[in-house]
Structure 1
Amino acid sequence: MKEIRCVVCGDEGVGKSTLILNLIKNEFLESVERCLPEVVIELDNNLHLIDTNEDNLLRQLKRCNVICLVYAVDNDSSIANISEWLAYFKSVGINHPIILIGNKLDINNPNYSFDNDIIPIMKQYKQIETCVESSAKLSLNVKELFYFAQRAVLHPTAPLYDSRLHTLKPASASALSRIFKLCDTNKDNLLDYDELNTFQLKCFNTTLNSKDFDDIIDLVSQHSPQTISKTSDDTTALTELGFILLHTIFIQRGRLETTWTVLRKFGYAQDLRLKEEFLYPNFPVNPDSSVELSPQGYSFFTEIFEKFDVDKDGALSEKEINDLFMTSPGNPWLNKGFPDTTLTDEKGAVTLQGWLAQWSMTTLLDHKTTLAYLAYLGYEAPISATVQDTTSALKTTPPRRRRSRDVGVVQRNVFLSYVIGAPGSGKTSLLRSLLNKPFVSGMSDTKSRSVSSGSSGGKGLSDSAASTGMLSVVNAVEMEGGGEKYLVCQEIDSNALKNTKKLQLQAADVVVLVYDCSDANSFAHLSQLHAIHKLENVPCVYVATKSDLDLAQQRHEVQPDVYCRRLNLNVPVAVSVKMNETAGLFQHICSVAGKPKQALPLGKRNAKGVLHVVSLLTIGGGLIGIAAVLAKWNWRPWSAHLVNVYRNVLGCSIGTAVTATIMIGYTMKTHGAALLAIAGLSSGTVLQKPADAVTCPSKLPVSCSVTHVDDTCCVETNGLLLLTQFWDWHYSPYEGHEDAWTLHGLWSDHCDGSYPQFCDRGMQLHNISSSILAAGETTLYAEMNDFWLDNRGHNDYFWQHEWNKHGTCYSTLKPDCRGGARSTDIMVDYFKKIVETYKQLPTYTFLEQKGITPSNTKKYKLHDIKQALKEAFGHEPTLHCDGGGDKVHEVWYFYNLVGNLISGQLLPREQASRDNCKAEVYYLPKHQSRRHNAQQVQMDEMVSEVESTQLVWV
């Protein structure tokens, strides 16, 4: 606290001004101003003394930290008014500590009795810290009363002590109990002389002599024999009860600064919670670096392991672990599979190797959790450390180069690997084998696990992936040539790969792709994921599990060995966990993580692979172009079938694909007669236009206005809609136009504000761009590329996520409600509706018309921004801010709906969620120009690329 504001108030004529003047001039003045100006006394915490009158009283009370309420001992009226003053403070919401001052003690008043007049008031109002009787005329207790005012702020009684019950409050007793446990270094539940001396040095920077120790023992033992006990060597020591009683006595004797000094030395704030900066000190980490334990960190966790290994069996039992975490909020891995995530003995107790491995994993995935628990468990930085906080227990690794193929050696001691594979491929069994745990027959892969990575700042999946769960395990791996590395393996649930918008696989040092070599369909899952999640710059290791079973021919265009060779990768490592044959797999994974260049996919491929890809691109480009032209003639269903032809061609031989291309070229000349033949050649079906959509009554209720909906095709069940826009000021180069907000989506929420997601797996789609172009919607495609942008440049995956997560949840968009329409047709209509709605909400223009434009220096009132948008939209939207809540980043416009989403009416409504912005905010300009040309259609670029590839092939 840099300053203490002390308001001096009371009845007129009680001597408020004379007390202040006596303090600063050290003399008594008969004649003084009616109300003195503010006085500042320069101390460690500058003391501001504020004299008051009726004009400034309330304003100053709301700004102050402590109140000096003055009465005159010779004035019965001022004594009687003390209760009225205290009631007034309560009525205006003031709850600051109060110093009661009885001034003019030099004047005798036979009617005044401190015991009868003041003590009852002090008992009634607990915010009264103390009462001091003084005399400005005699300079009696003037300095003391203002000292008590400072102390009431710096060392308040209220958080620590209940003056009515004369006991410590639960929070202070709990904090002192925790401090006792931390100081009990030998874990015998006693504080002996050596431990108390160490405590004295830490808190007060002075030693405790033997006489002082004996005095403490004598003092507390007078109150209760349970406050002291004998140690194993028959010396007297302090019990936990004695330690707490000692501080109770300090407080009762007015030595609050002693207890507060102890609490603050152990990281506690005024509210008796551990300070944020104590738990999470500043520890910057380069995005391409990882965090590991330093030698001091490993030493600390080794020492604390040995302290709590009471039976000295080399492992921590469940009880020993619970005792260890008594000074913290609890076991940080309680719901994350621990102790099955690390090495244990045959009884399930965590060994020292497993304990250190678990903390190595926690530090890698979420170093902030490690920092907090270092503080909880009592880590002390060495004297030689530059910064005396918990950061000396951690270190960062040199940044790794991700975009360069010349990556060299990765200098890390802890590696992170993601383990991916189809359900039933043996991922969980593989992870158990890393921990030397026995094979369990019939074990299924992880379906729902708690994520080992936690707060922001850690590595791992994004929030949406994390919600589906993954198992994390860790163990030390001995490397060839000596030394060891910690290997963290995270088993990623298959659903996370499908449903995640931003799956940060590049956070891993290596991706392990697992398939069951006895299951013919297992490998195809991996090749699809490899293509979807773009693993070009991520080291990959393919693993064939269950090698003890009969080898199955994989249903894939090429077999796994050939596939890996085409990617310039080693062939899959064959393992059998059941037979305990892992072929040095984990050493190999660590080797790849340390030297990733050997396992980066997409190196130089053989000539056949190049010709194969080029030919398919050529055919695909021709089919997409033809489909777009057909859609221009309003033949959307037929063009959609051409997309199916393209997909089928990808699965056939090059010769068949060329034949199909020639036939499609002939189709262009015959305008449709041959089109049906080609479609039949591809799918074996006759093309039909979809039936008309469901007919709804003319009068429909507004969504969310009725509790029960019978016809979900005509009344939207998820009827609270919100259109979201981004202002991406913090990306460089920025997204979209410098004078336009970008589009995020149109989401359907339940009427209570909760929301569904990924509702209909049968409606989910991939390759959104291809489907939109195949439908002939080139203008829509160009507009989406203009303002519906992913901040990482993956627009198609962004749109795919929006459709699969939100679009499939509209009840009025179900195929049965759309006359049996295909999901691709519904998807196109869905995106057209969103784009149309977005264009009706030019947020930048709304604000600009009210003089609100981006600025690096000017702050705007949040109310003014919301009012400008309200005037344009009709209702206040919700605003979201980042950067600490003072930088505008996102706007949500809310609607209800009459009818279905495509042809119904959107009705603007009031905001249904709270803002998270401060009262004044920045509306920052975007970083640098990267405009998009709405007339430039990316389809033309795709066709151009195909044509140029065709020339190279020829």
Structure 2
Amino acid sequence: MAGGGANATRWNPTGAAGVRIVVAGDAKTGKSSLILTAAADAFPPSVLSVLPPTRLPDDMFPDRVPVTVVDTSSSTENRGKLVEELRRADAVILTYACDRPETLDRLSTFWLPELRRIEVRVPVIVVGCMLDKRDDDYPVSLEQVMSPIMQQFREIETCIECSALKFIQVPEVFYYAQKAVLHPTAPLFDQEAQTLKPRCVRALKRIFILCDQDRDGALSDEELNDFQVKCFNAPLQPAEIVGVKKVVQEKLAEGVSERGLTLTGFLFLHALFIEKGRLETTWTVLRKFGYNNEIRLSDDRLPPPIKKHPDQSVELTNEAVDFLRTIFFTYDIDGDGSLRAPEVEDLFSTAPENPWNEAPYRDAGEKNALGGLTIDGFLSKWALMALLDPIRCVEYLIYIGYAGDASTAIRVTRRRRLDRKKQHSDRNVYQCFVFGPKEAGKSALLNSFIGRPFPGEYVPTTNDNNYAVHIVDQPGGIRKTLVLREIPEDGVHNLLSSKDALAACDVAVFVHDSTRESSWKRATELLLDVASHGEATGYEVPCLIVAAKDDLESFVTEIQNSTRVSQDLGIEAPIPISTKLGDLSNIFLRIVNAAEHPHLSIPETEAGKSRKHYHRLISRSLMFVSVGAAVAVVGLAAYRVYAARRNSSS
């Protein structure tokens, strides 16, 4: 496998603007002279205190990526401008004067901590200027001086000393800076452990699998040659292929098998390239397969930003679901109908990480008694990803092998407003917001939905990122995915502060503890708040009331009060459930049914009734005015005809 030659594909991570390098450091450390010497290829007789942005010649470096160098002032009055430029940088050059040790000390005591403080997270090149002024009687080992600083500040990509006056290593300064942007070390290699970083390994594994056309776990000579042509636009000669495999086999016996170069050997080769300073080889491969500096797929490999109204959602297409079913059974190695944790990790081993190790996905899906993810739980988690973060969902589909056009994996649903008008929703995924006061049983409802055991003691929900997702079977074999999102009581006010708060909600459920009157009253208040918000914004949602803890004795007037309120609002009577006993009164099917008929179960507040009555009166008045005006016009026309006839007869 060769590195990037003259015909290698070039890539510019910063777009048309090119690479922006900002030069900073103490006053009189040679910043401006360094820049001008590089740009003009000669030491300037005089320089400005601060140069304007300077464009280096495009042919100065092999990559031919435009490089703009920005000079800065270290004076206090220009502090704001300095910070602004540093935050816009793709790479930072920090200078010190070789003949002034105090300027070197300032790198670790001020400049490098300052970059961290203002959150500048780009490669740093440390440059010693005015090398010609250093006293030869006091030789200094750059490696010895810089090693402790580089250990402390890992953002330093490299260190170099130069002389603008003698033109010593001036182009190299900016070459290293540009290279640090185009081919950074940090994302690929752990310098301390001297190993490829996990995300780099995962990306290279995916690339290996994509190139292993016959899926035999090795790259044959033909596959290795195809890989070389794809990445570097140049074939490998038979002798070169033999040489590559020999290098690997001498160091790593398992790196080559009788079928060809193994994944272990493929990874070893890239680690070898990086150790030898040939990072551009690995980066060229990664770029060719669509990876950016974070070793994630770049935006041009993903669908464009999704244009949709707030009351539209995103779902997986049938093509994506069929693909996921195949993937599930491919990775169910033991054939037990579930994916155990190691199998899930293996499935995501070609992605930057397992996205389900974090909230809200981690605990959102159904697992079997042994902790394995069932096929329904697996598909439900993907449905949740498509709903909450569709572009990321497609990204991870591609990582695990989805080969179709990325845009064919997801679809945008019809607007909920239109669903209400048509009195039916044909979505496959419904989202239900679960409201209620503290200790009402919201979390218990979510837990029962995905088969978690009833908790022995109350544990308050501390975030608004608590989801449960599962598939609900309907009569006739129809299956819908239901997403329950718990809304903590103290998060309701913040939620309803947004005009579009209920746009993503298909159904709202209000849970109260049927043994406590205060819980019922608070649930009623929340119901009225949500209903009023829906009426005011046009995002009315079907609402259901759930009387939890039905296994305990309810407060005296619970049935009477709750029935009266539901009748006044025009919605279904409260649904009694006991999550402790597992008596759920088909609550999840009833939620889905309410979502499928979004014109029903919509509460109507007194304010809403008054508003509708007022609009009816206005409409009726306008109708009477229109009819009166029409009668007047007809009457006037008739009178004119009558008058004309009288005049003609006389």
For the superposition of Structure 1 and Structure 2, which TM-score range results when normalised by the shorter chain?
Answer: 0.5 to 0.7
Which of 188, 197, 218 aligns to 1:173? It is 197
| TM-aligned CA distance change 1:132 to 1:485, over 3 Å | same
Contact 1:183 1:199 in 2 (8 A): no
Deviation per residue, 1:162-208 (Å, 9 max, x gap): 9xxxx676685344323244346499996544986787677557787
Q: Give the letter for the 1:350 counterpart.
A: L
The aligned residue for residue 596 of structure 1 is 598
| TM-aligned CA distance change 1:482 to 1:90, over 3 Å | same
| TM-aligned CA distance change 1:534 to 1:221, over 3 Å | same
Q: Give the letter for the 1:347 counterpart.
A: L
In the alignment, structure 1 residue 418 sits paired with structure 2 residue 441: no
Q: Give the letter for the 1:218 counterpart.
A: K
Which of 523, 528, 533 aligns to 1:531? It is 528
Deviation per residue, 1:679-714 (Å, 9 max, x gap): xxxxxxxxxxxxxxxxxxxxxxxxxxxxxxxxxxxx
Offset of residue 246 of structure 1: 1.8
The aligned residue for residue 247 of structure 2 is 219
Offset of residue 599 of structure 1: 1.2
Contact 2:531 2:605 in 1 (8 A): no
The aligned residue for residue 259 of structure 2 is 235
Describe the SS at the equivalent of 1:84. Answer: coil
The aligned residue for residue 659 of structure 1 is none
Write the distance in 2 (CA, Å) between the matches of 1:168 and 1:248.
14
Offset of residue 422 of structure 1: 6.7
Contact 2:218 2:262 in 1 (8 A): yes
Offset of residue 510 of structure 1: 0.9
Write the distance in 2 (CA, Å) between the matches of 1:17 and 1:582.
77
Offset of residue 335 of structure 1: 6.4
The aligned residue for residue 543 of structure 2 is 540
The aligned residue for residue 398 of structure 1 is 414
| TM-aligned CA distance change 1:434 to 1:252, over 3 Å | closer
Unaligned runs of 5+ residues in structure 2 are 1-13, 73-80, 113-123, 148-156, 614-650
Offset of residue 353 of structure 1: 1.4
| TM-aligned CA distance change 1:524 to 1:268, over 3 Å | same
- Structure 2 matches for 1:359-370, cutoff 5 A? 359-364=382-387, 366-367=388-389
In the alignment, structure 1 residue 358 sits paired with structure 2 residue 381: yes
Contact 2:22 2:92 in 1 (8 A): yes
Write the distance in 2 (CA, Å) between the matches of 1:205 and 1:303.
34
Write the distance in 2 (CA, Å) between the matches of 1:19 and 1:420.
65
Offset of residue 449 of structure 1: 3.6
In the alignment, structure 1 residue 41 sits paired with structure 2 residue 62: no
Offset of residue 16 of structure 1: 11
Write the distance in 1 (CA, Å) between the matches of 2:599 and 2:335.
45
Describe the SS at the equivalent of 2:248. Answer: helix
Unaligned runs of 5+ residues in structure 1 are 24-30, 53-58, 70-80, 104-111, 387-391, 455-469, 615-954
- Structure 2 matches for 1:695-714, cutoff 5 A? none
In the alignment, structure 1 residue 378 sits paired with structure 2 residue 399: yes
In the alignment, structure 1 residue 486 sits paired with structure 2 residue 491: no
| TM-aligned CA distance change 1:151 to 1:482, over 3 Å | same
Write the distance in 1 (CA, Å) between the matches of 2:485 and 2:35.
69
Contact 1:6 1:47 in 2 (8 A): no
Contact 1:176 1:244 in 2 (8 A): no
Write the distance in 2 (CA, Å) between the matches of 1:160 and 1:420.
46
Offset of residue 557 of structure 1: 9.0
Which of 367, 371, 392 aligns to 1:348? It is 371
The aligned residue for residue 475 of structure 1 is 470
Write the distance in 2 (CA, Å) between the matches of 1:444 and 1:525.
24
RCO higher in structure (CA 8 A, sep ≥6): 2
| TM-aligned CA distance change 1:394 to 1:158, over 3 Å | closer
Offset of residue 511 of structure 1: 1.9
| TM-aligned CA distance change 1:543 to 1:352, over 3 Å | same
Offset of residue 538 of structure 1: 2.4
Contact 1:425 1:516 in 2 (8 A): yes
In the alignment, structure 1 residue 312 sits paired with structure 2 residue 335: yes
- Structure 2 matches for 1:64-463, cutoff 5 A? 83-84=98-99, 88=103, 91=106, 97=125, 121=142, 150-151=178-179, 154-155=182-183, 173-183=197-207, 185=209, 192-193=219-220, 204=232, 213-225=241-253, 228=255, 230=257, 235-240=259-264, 242-264=265-287, 282-295=305-318, 297-298=320-321, 301-302=324-325, 304-324=327-347, 327-328=351-352, 332=356, 338-339=362-363, 341-364=364-387, 366-367=388-389, 371=392, 374-375=395-396, 378=399, 382=403, 384-385=405-406, 393-401=409-417, 406=421, 408-420=423-435, 430-435=445-450, 437=451, 447-449=459-461, 451=463, 454=465
Deviation per residue, 1:107-135 (Å, 9 max, x gap): xxxxx9xxxx99x546755776789999x
Deviation per residue, 1:800-830 (Å, 9 max, x gap): xxxxxxxxxxxxxxxxxxxxxxxxxxxxxxx
Offset of residue 100 of structure 1: 9.9
Which of 582, 585, 588 aligns to 1:586? It is 588
Write the distance in 1 (CA, Å) between the matches of 2:69 and 2:437.
72
Describe the SS at the equivalent of 2:527. Answer: helix
Offset of residue 568 of structure 1: 2.7
Offset of residue 367 of structure 1: 1.4
Describe the SS at the equivalent of 2:469. Answer: strand
| TM-aligned CA distance change 1:132 to 1:224, over 3 Å | farther
Write the distance in 2 (CA, Å) between the matches of 1:147 and 1:257.
13
Which of 492, 506, 510 aligns to 1:509? It is 506
Write the distance in 1 (CA, Å) between the matches of 2:606 and 2:29.
88
Q: Give the letter for the 1:530 counterpart.
A: L
Describe the SS at the equivalent of 1:286. Answer: coil
Write the distance in 2 (CA, Å) between the matches of 1:156 and 1:336.
32
Q: Give the letter for the 1:311 counterpart.
A: D
Describe the SS at the equivalent of 2:600. Answer: helix
Deviation per residue, 1:379-433 (Å, 9 max, x gap): 57756457xxxxx64443333229x974633342211113445777765565455
Offset of residue 35 of structure 1: 6.8
Describe the SS at the equivalent of 2:484. Answer: strand
Contact 2:506 2:541 in 1 (8 A): yes
Describe the SS at the equivalent of 2:416. Answer: coil
- Structure 2 matches for 1:928-939, cutoff 5 A? none
Describe the SS at the equivalent of 2:417. Answer: coil
Q: TM-score, normalised by structure 2?
A: 0.60
| TM-aligned CA distance change 1:253 to 1:132, over 3 Å | farther
| TM-aligned CA distance change 1:198 to 1:89, over 3 Å | farther
Q: TM-score, normalised by structure 1?
A: 0.44
Write the distance in 1 (CA, Å) between the matches of 2:337 and 2:527.
43
Offset of residue 505 of structure 1: 5.8
Write the distance in 1 (CA, Å) between the matches of 2:484 and 2:572.
20
Write the distance in 2 (CA, Å) between the matches of 1:600 and 1:15.
71
Describe the SS at the equivalent of 1:222. Answer: helix
| TM-aligned CA distance change 1:100 to 1:316, over 3 Å | same
Offset of residue 350 of structure 1: 0.7
| TM-aligned CA distance change 1:209 to 1:393, over 3 Å | farther
Offset of residue 354 of structure 1: 0.6
Tell me how many residue pairs correspond in the alignment.
533
Contact 2:361 2:381 in 1 (8 A): no
Describe the SS at the equivalent of 1:310. Answer: coil
Write the distance in 2 (CA, Å) between the matches of 1:420 and 1:449.
12
Contact 1:427 1:491 in 2 (8 A): yes
- Structure 2 matches for 1:628-643, cutoff 5 A? none
Write the distance in 1 (CA, Å) between the matches of 2:267 and 2:299.
26
